[in-house]
Amino acid sequence: MKKKDPAIKEKKPYLSNQNLLVIAVLSGIGGVMSTYIGYLGNLFNAMLGVPFGAGQFLSGLHVFWIILAAGLVKKPGAASLAGLLKGCIEFFTGGTHGITIIIVSLVQGIIVDLVLIIFRKYSLTILSLAGGLAAASNVLVFQTLYFSGVAWGYIAFIAFFAFVSGIIFAGFFGRHVLNIIFQAKAFQLSPQDHELARPPKNSKFTMAAAGIIFLIFTGGAVYYFTQIYTPPWSGPQCTVEGAVERSLSFRLSDFSDQETTITAELKGQYTHVEEKEYTGIPVSAILKEAVPKEGSTILKVTGTDGYEIEFSLEKILVDDKFILIEEDDMLRLVAGNYEGSCWVRNASRMIID
C-alpha cells in the first residue's frame, strides 16, 4: 500500500461542508419565506391603494438571508451562491415572479459579494450598504425585463424605498442577528467577529426586539402558508366561494365547451402589452354555474400570493372580456375592460359577497 507523502498537503475545498450547509439552510428558509414577503408586499399595496411599489419597503427582507450567509461563511461567492439557490427554491415553491426571480436573487447575491470584496469588511456600515444596493437592484432588473413607459423618476423613487429597506432589514437587522449568533458562539469566530460580538449596552434590548420580530414574522408566515397559500404542484385550479348556492373547485377544462377568444390590451401603470388574443373561459359562465345568492354585489378575485381585488358582480356577469386563461401552468385573470392592476396572476379564489 502506497503511503502518502506527509510533505504533500491535501487541497481543501473552497467551501467546507459547514459552509455549504449554512448556505443551503439559509437559502432554503429565505426562498420559502420570500413568497410570504411577496404577500406582505401586496398587503402594503392594497392598504395604500396602489397596484405595486409600496411593497418595496419590505424588499430588504429578501436580501436578509443572503447577508446572513455572507456574514457566516465570509468567502467571496458565498452570497452569489446563496442568492442563486434562494431564487431557485422560491421559483420551485411557487414564487409569483416565475423564473425571473432566479435572476433577481442571483443579482442581489452578486452585488453583496462585490461590496464585500471591495471593502473587505463585515461592519454594520458595509453590510448596510450591501443590503441597500442589493435590495434596490430588484427594481432595475424588473425595469429591464418588464417595465414599459414608466418615468425614470418614479423608478428611482421606488428604488430609493427598496434601498432604505435593504439598509434596515438586510444590513442593520442582519448585522445584529449575526452579533447574536456570534455571542452564542455557534460558529468559530475570527478576530473581527470577536470584536463585533462584544455585547453592547443594549444587547438585551436587541435580542428581545429580534425575538419579537421573529415571532410576529413566523406567526404571520404560518397563517399565510396554512390559510392562504396554494402550492404550485396542486395544479392550476380555482374555487368559487362565499354567497353562492354551489361552491365550486374547478379547472378550466371543466368548462371547455364555453371557451372563447377575445382581444385585449394590458394598460398598466408600470407595464404595457399590445392588444393580442387571449383564449379562456368567461368568468360569467363560471359564476352562473355557482349561482350567486340574491343580494350579492361584489366579486373578489384572489391570487395564490394573497393579492386581491374587487369588482362589481353585476358588471362582471355581463362582461364578455373578463376571462380566466391558463398561462405558464397558472391561471390568470384577463380583465379586458379594466386597467392592468386588475389582471390577476395566479388566480386561485373567487369570492362572492
CATH of the domain at 299: 3.90.420.10
- In this prediction, residues 89-114 reach a mean pLDDT of 87
Q: What percent of the chain has pLDDT over 70?
A: 80
- In this prediction, residues 92-119 reach a mean pLDDT of 88
* Dist. CA 263–CA 330, nearest whole Å: 20
What pLDDT, on a 0 to 100 scale, did the predictor assign at position 42? 67
Q: Has residue 194 got a pLDDT over 80?
A: no
Please indicate, yes or no, if residue 71 is contained in any of the structural domains.
yes
Which residues touch 339 (CB under 8 Å, ≥6 apart)? 267, 268, 269
Decide which of 196, 229, 262 is a domain's last residue: 229
Residue with cell 397559500: 229
Are 127 and 254 in a shared domain? no
Q: Has residue 174 got a pLDDT over 70?
A: yes
E strand or H helix at 239, and its extent? strand 238-242
- In this prediction, residues 261-286 reach a mean pLDDT of 87
What pLDDT, on a 0 to 100 scale, did the predictor assign at position 91? 84
Side by side, the strands of the sheet bearing 308-312 are: 248-250, 238-242, 347-352, 298-303, 308-312
Residue 166's pLDDT band (boundaries 50, 70, 90)?
very high
What pLDDT, on a 0 to 100 scale, did the predictor assign at position 38? 75
Q: What is the mean pLDDT of the chain?
A: 83
**Which of these ranges, 5-9, 176-180, 220-224, 287-291, has the smallest mean pLDDT?**
5-9
Are 148 and 273 in a shared domain? no
What pLDDT, on a 0 to 100 scale, did the predictor assign at position 328? 75
Q: Has residue 238 got a pLDDT over 60?
A: yes
Domain that holds residue 316: 234-352
Residue 281 · residue 237 · CB < 8 Å? no
Tally of domains within the chain: 2
Q: Has residue 136 got a pLDDT over 70?
A: yes
Neighbours of 134 (CB within 10 A): 32
Between 207 and 70, residue with greater pLDDT: 70
Cα 193 to its chain centre, rounded Å, is 31
Q: Is the pTM of this model over 0.95?
A: no
* Dist. CA 70–CA 185, nearest whole Å: 17
Counted residue by residue, the chain has a size of: 353
Are 324 and 218 in a shared domain? no
Between 140 and 284, residue with greater pLDDT: 284
Are 145 and 255 in a shared domain? no
246 grid coordinates: 354551489
Residue 288 · residue 350 · CB < 8 Å? no
Please indicate, yes or no, if residue 166 is contained in any of the structural domains.
yes
What pLDDT, on a 0 to 100 scale, did the predictor assign at position 157? 83
* Dist. CA 182–CA 176, nearest whole Å: 10
Q: Which residues of 317-347 are buried (b: 16+ CB within 10 A; e: fewer)?
A: bebeebbbbeeeebbbbbbbebebbbbbbbb
Which of helix, strand or coil describes residue 187? Answer: coil
What pLDDT, on a 0 to 100 scale, did the predictor assign at position 82? 96
Q: Has residue 207 got a pLDDT over 70?
A: no
pLDDT digits (tens, 9 = 90+) for 5-59: 555 556 778 888 889 999 999 999 998 888 788 777 766 666 655 555 556 778 8
